[in-house]
Amino acid sequence: MNIEKQEWNGWFVASDNGEILGAGGGGFTGKATAELFVIYLNPNRKREGIGTELLSIITNDQIERGAKEQWVSVAKNNAMGIPFYEAVGFKYQDERPAYGLPVGEGFTSIRYKRELAISLVER
């Protein structure tokens, strides 16, 4: 059995005049290994750069905490998420059953990783 400790570093929320545009968060799965746990976007406000901004803020926070690499899991059928993560430098690593679901349930996650530079990600 593999038990992986995941340290949650809290939510980052994007809003505009009280309207929630999106939220995301991440944490660490190892000393210098960061994980993007989630990015949610308001479905009416997609393709406005909100996801990119949230990812930059989360990544900068992780770099400041000592991250050298960043991982993300994306649902295999996520037609918007996969090209987004590839466009910002994530590289395919492998596929596995979605986190928390029994093997054979049919939900597959694609694992991506990118190396993080010492300097902060441009926003």
Which residues fall within 8 angstroms of residue 92, CB to CB, at 6 or more apart?
Answer: 86, 110, 111, 112
CB 112 within 8 A of CB 93: yes
Residue 21 CB neighbour total at 10 angstroms: 19
Pairing assessment for the beta strands 33-41 and 69-75 based on DSSP bridges: parallel
- Sheet containing strand 7-16, strands side by side: 7-16, 19-28, 33-41, 69-75, 108-115, 91-97
In which residue are the tokens 């986190």 written?
Answer: 99
* CATH match for 7-115 among 3.90.1150.10, 3.40.50.450, 3.40.630.30, 3.10.20.30: 3.40.630.30
> Mind listing the pLDDT tens digit for each residue in 61-112?
999 999 999 999 999 889 999 999 999 999 999 998 776 655 556 688 999 9
Say yes or no to pLDDT of 44 above 80: yes
**How confident is residue 56, by pLDDT bands cut at 50, 70 and 90?**
very high
pLDDT per residue as tens digits for the range 4-42: 445 678 889 999 998 999 999 999 999 999 999 999 999
